[in-house]
Amino acid sequence: MAHSDSARDLTQTWHTHRRQSVLLGVVLMLAGLFVLRNAVAATVVSAIVFGVALPATGLIEIVQSFWAPYWAHRLWRLPLGALYAAGGAILIADPLAASMLLTLAFAAA
């Protein structure tokens, strides 16, 4: 009996996850069509999303720097976290100019 109940639960879980996967696929396809249609808006949105992620990463890096076992690690992680936060603030403040700057920096590299 336990075997058939677990198989039934597994089947129910598979159908639930399958629906979620199909829904996610449809959403991602629509997002891809949006990107193809309006590249500038997609660039600005991605710069804002990246700009929100950078200060969060910088804050985590600063907090983790205080857990570093050696002072040398701490001295590198504190400015790195501050640079992450500053970069995120720049991306959020002017996402279009920051996107152009990033494009030029990647092209030069």
Which tokens in the block code for residue 42? Answer: 């997609």
Reported as a single tens digit per residue, the pLDDT across 4-58 is: 666 666 666 666 678 888 999 999 999 889 888 988 888 888 899 999 999 999 9
Distance CA 45, CA 35 (A): 10
pLDDT at 11: 65
Report CA Rg, the chain: 22
From the CB of residue 85, how many other CB atoms can be counted at a distance below 10 Å? 18
Task: Write down the pLDDT at residue 109.
Answer: 77
Task: Supply the pTM of this predicted model.
Answer: 0.64
71 or 6, which is more confident? Answer: 71
